DNA sequence: TGTACATCAGTGAACGCGCGTTCACTGATGTAC
DNA sequence: TGTACATCAGTGAACGCGCGTTCACTGATGTAC
């Protein structure tokens, strides 16, 4: 049997004993906690089972190998993330707010999320570099966020000055995600402090996408601050 | 003896035989080439010496351990990078050009550099996560670029609309570096294609920093696209 | 309600592979006279 | 110019540590009658 998820559905008579599922949860939690300090490769199975008050045998009864553990952690996180994304970009939530309000909430939230789950995210990113399967699911998570955000933007096109709103969403999302992620991965050590950077990121995306309070069509040609230099100005 | 750099200074009678230095260069080159495909930890010393037509003994005559090799690679790269940075942001080079021309050249150049040295950069970034010494030098390299860019910006303050140009440089640099780096590390697979993204990055930074052709003071209050939402608009 | 058995869950000593590192050796280059 | 010696540079088999993985076993829980 391959990695079983910590299911949320309970059967009438639980098919597996409850303690089994608890052990799995303990193993996952312990690993995630250890990942805050070290890389996945530098954590031994022995350490994991010790920290989760389990045993190597119990470990290999669940996972075909050490790698599958990371896959299982990913699966657990993916579900959480999808739910968070849906909640964050739920159109109902932003009914009476402008797009910049969305950004001013979403970006700090993203920073917070990355801070709390730093270890996990670092491990996933590292794995995605070399493992095609991880890259695929990573991609899916991003697409999911992009789709939600595009829906939100599409419903209020008039607030967006950028000539290609879909591209603006894609590129803006890339900038924000990459910046937050890499910055925190490297330990927040260089450049501006993270919270300041987050604020500036919001400003940047707002300026880039040309987000303003329902500007009319007449404004599209104005000011030149959003789509000026398509080609390098130098010859 | 610890890791010797591939020196450029030649003594009258070379203190070491030339072939020794050639071997070192071969080892470094082979490692960098192997790093394009795999992580440093996944490359064995055996593979490195095979690929560089050398031997384990020759290897350990130069490096106290495998880790020192990465340090040596870093040292070699750091020097190259410093030179490239200086050349790129040389004030003389941009005498008659505006800031957006600088960006429109520097960003694609950065993309190109990251593409070519992807393996190295990935290895350095991974190491910086867990190794304080690597983080320090990484930081220095960034500060060097930031300083050069700030000098360039300081000389043409009137082109910049952002209320705090130093912060704008720091934050803008973070966004560009992080985005380009992480995007390429993950293999360019998600979101917009890299060259398109690079173009959008330039637009974003230009819009964010409020870069325009020597705008007067009267323009600072205008349009609102650069420094609108300091606080979240939501309550 | 109690007993006997089946299955689930967990245990940890032992194994073995892979890789970093060592070291006794050979060969190449430089130098003294 | 030639010989003898010193040092530099390189070689690769052998070692051993660490960690992932296996497996024969014990203990806990559930079920049939």
Asked whether residue B124 falls in the same domain as residue B177, the answer is yes
Asked whether residue A97 falls in the same domain as residue A176, the answer is yes
Q: For residue A146, list chain B residues with Cβ-Cβ distance below 8 A.
A: 191
Residue B81 falls inside a structural domain: no
Orientation angle between helical segments B165-185 and B99-116, nearest 10 degrees: 30
Pick the range with the lowest mean pLDDT from A195-199, B8-12, B71-75, B201-205. B8-12
Average pLDDT rounded to a whole number, residues B134-139? 88
Asked if the Cβ of residue B54 lies within 7 A of any atom of strand D, the reply is: yes
Distance, Å, A43 CA → D29 C1': 33
Cα–Cα dist B198/B107, whole Å: 6
**B57-81: string of b/e by CB count within 10 Å (b at 16+)?**
ebbeebbeebeebbbbbbebbbeeb
Cα–Cα dist B40/B124, whole Å: 9
Q: For residue B38, list chain A residues with Cβ-Cβ distance below 8 A.
A: 130
Asked if the Cβ of residue B4 lies within 7 A of any atom of strand D, the reply is: no
Name the band, by pLDDT with cuts 50, 70 and 90, for residue A214: low
Say what the pLDDT of residue B133 is. 87
User: Which range in A16-30, A162-176, A215-229 is most confidently predicted, on average pLDDT?
Assistant: A162-176
Residue A137, sorted as left (phi over 0), alpha (psi -120 to 50) or beta, turns out to be: alpha
**In terms of CA atoms, which chain A residue is nearest residue B131?**
A186
Cα–Cα dist A194/A184, whole Å: 8
State the total domains in chain A. Answer: 2
Average pLDDT rounded to a whole number, residues A205-210? 97
Asked whether residue A114 falls in the same domain as residue A57, the answer is no
Residue A229 falls inside a structural domain: no
Average pLDDT rounded to a whole number, residues A88-113? 96
Give bridge partners of residue A211 from the DSSP assignment.
A160
CATH of the domain at B20: 1.10.10
In chain A, positions 12-41 with C-beta closer than 7 Å to nucleic chain D are: 13, 17-19, 41
**In terms of CA atoms, which chain B residue is nearest residue A190?**
B139
Say what the pLDDT of residue B228 is. 36
In residues, how long is chain B? 235
Orientation angle between helical segments A194-209 and B165-185, nearest 10 degrees: 90
**In terms of CA atoms, which chain B residue is nearest residue A161?**
B225
Asked whether residue B44 falls in the same domain as residue B109, the answer is no
Asked whether residue B40 falls in the same domain as residue B141, the answer is no
Query: Which of A97, A174, A197 has the CB atom closest to B192's CB atom?
Result: A174
Asked if the Cβ of residue B105 lies within 7 A of any atom of strand D, the reply is: no
Q: For residue A172, list chain B residues with Cβ-Cβ distance below 8 A.
A: 204
Cα–Cα dist A88/A76, whole Å: 19
**In terms of CA atoms, which chain A residue is nearest residue B194?**
A171
Q: For residue B192, list chain A residues with Cβ-Cβ distance below 8 A.
A: 167, 170-171, 174
Asked whether residue A62 falls in the same domain as residue A99, the answer is no
Residue A120 falls inside a structural domain: yes
What residues contact residue B132 under an 8 Å CB cut-off, 6+ apart?
A: none
Instruction: Tell whether the model's pLDDT for residue A234 goes beyond 70.
Output: no
Q: For residue B105, list chain A residues with Cβ-Cβ distance below 8 A.
A: 232, 234
What residues contact residue B182 under an 8 Å CB cut-off, 6+ apart?
A: A125, A178, A181, A182
Distance, Å, A12 CA → C2 C1': 27
Residue B233 falls inside a structural domain: no
Say what the pLDDT of residue B93 is. 96
Question: How far, in Å, are A204, B7, B97, B154, B208 from residue B94 at the CA level?
Answer: 25, 32, 5, 13, 21
Residue B84 falls inside a structural domain: no
Tell me which of A26 and B6 has the higher pLDDT.
A26
Asked whether residue B205 falls in the same domain as residue B165, the answer is yes
Asked whether residue A106 falls in the same domain as residue A165, the answer is yes
Contact across the interface for B173 and A191, Cβ inside 8 Å: yes
Asked whether residue B165 falls in the same domain as residue B110, the answer is yes
Cα–Cα dist A119/B213, whole Å: 44
Say what the pLDDT of residue B189 is. 67
Distance, Å, A154 CA → C6 C1': 60
Contact across the interface for B104 and A38, Cβ inside 8 Å: no
Say what the pLDDT of residue A187 is. 78
Say what the pLDDT of residue B223 is. 40
Contact across the interface for B101 and A189, Cβ inside 8 Å: no
Share of chain A above pLDDT 70, in %: 83
How far away is chain B from the Cα of A151, in angstroms, using its nearest Cα? 16
Nearest nt to the CA of B43 via C1' is C19
Which two three-digit tokens encode residue A130? 């070399």
Residue A118 falls inside a structural domain: yes
How far away is chain B from the Cα of A6, in angstroms, using its nearest Cα? 28
* Listed residues B16, B35, B66: the one ending a domain: B66
Instruction: Tell whether the model's pLDDT for residue A89 goes beyond 90.
Output: yes
Per-residue pLDDT reduced to its tens digit, B20-67: 899 999 999 999 999 999 999 999 999 999 999 999 999 999 999 999
Say what the pLDDT of residue A186 is. 86
Task: State the Cα angle at A181 between A49 and A38, rounded to 5°.
Answer: 25
Mean pLDDT of chain A: 85
How far away is chain A from the Cα of B61, in angstroms, using its nearest Cα? 27
Residue A149: closest CA among A125, A168, A175, A135: A168
Say what the pLDDT of residue A22 is. 93
Average pLDDT rounded to a whole number, residues A134-142? 89
| Residue listed under structure tokens 């930074």 | B205
Residue A84 falls inside a structural domain: no
Nucleotides of C under 7 A from a protein CB: 8-14, 18-24, 29-31
Asked whether residue A125 falls in the same domain as residue A188, the answer is yes
* CA distance between the termini of chain B: 63
Contact across the interface for A191 and B125, Cβ inside 8 Å: no
Question: How far, in Å, are A108, A157, B77, B234 from residue A99 at the CA level?
Answer: 15, 10, 43, 10
Mean pLDDT of chain B: 85
Name the band, by pLDDT with cuts 50, 70 and 90, for residue B15: low
Asked whether residue A129 falls in the same domain as residue A192, the answer is yes
How far away is chain A from the Cα of B48, in angstroms, using its nearest Cα? 19
Q: For residue B161, list chain A residues with Cβ-Cβ distance below 8 A.
A: 225
Q: Are A177 and A161 in contact (CB under 8 A)?
A: no
Nearest nt to the CA of A13 via C1' is D30
Pick the range with the lowest mean pLDDT from A51-65, A92-106, B215-229. B215-229
Contact across the interface for B101 and A233, Cβ inside 8 Å: yes
Instruction: Tell whether the model's pLDDT for residue B11 goes beyond 80.
Output: no
Name the protein residue, with chain letter, whose CA is nearest the C1' of D23: A57
Residue B232 falls inside a structural domain: no
Question: How far, in Å, are A48, A63, A120, A183, B164 from residue A116 at the CA level?
Answer: 20, 26, 9, 14, 30
Asked whether residue A105 falls in the same domain as residue A39, the answer is no
Residue B41's domain comprises: 6-66
Cα–Cα dist B114/B34, whole Å: 16
Asked if the Cβ of residue A157 lies within 7 A of any atom of strand D, the reply is: no
């Amino acid at each position: 049997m391959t990695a079983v998820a910590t299911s949320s559905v309970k059967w009438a008579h639980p098919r597996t004993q409850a303690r089994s599922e608890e052990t799995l949860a303990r193993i996952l939690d312990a690993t995630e906690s250890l990942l805050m300090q070290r890389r996945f490769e530098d954590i031994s199975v022995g350490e994991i089972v010790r920290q989760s008050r389990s045993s190597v045998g119990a470990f290999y009864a669940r996972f075909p190998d050490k790698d599958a553990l990371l896959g299982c952690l990913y699966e657990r996180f993916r579900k959480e993330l999808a739910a968070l994304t849906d909640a964050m970009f739920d159109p109902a939530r932003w009914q009476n707010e402008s797009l910049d309000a969305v950004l001013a909430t979403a970006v700090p939230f993203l920073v917070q999320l990355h801070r709390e789950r730093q270890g996990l995210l670092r491990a996933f990113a590292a794995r995605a570099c070399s493992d095609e399967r991880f890259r695929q699911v990573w991609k899916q998570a991003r697409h999911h966020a992009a789709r939600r955000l595009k829906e939100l933007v599409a419903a209020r096109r008039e607030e967006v000055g950028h000539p290609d709103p879909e591209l603006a969403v894609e590129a803006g999302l890339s900038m924000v995600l990459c910046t937050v992620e890499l910055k925190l991965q490297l330990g927040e050590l260089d450049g501006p402090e993270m919270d300041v950077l987050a604020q500036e990121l919001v400003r940047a995306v707002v300026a880039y996408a040309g987000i303003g309070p329902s500007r009319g069509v007449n404004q599209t040609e104005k000011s030149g601050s959003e789509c000026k230099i398509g080609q390098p100005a130098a010859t």
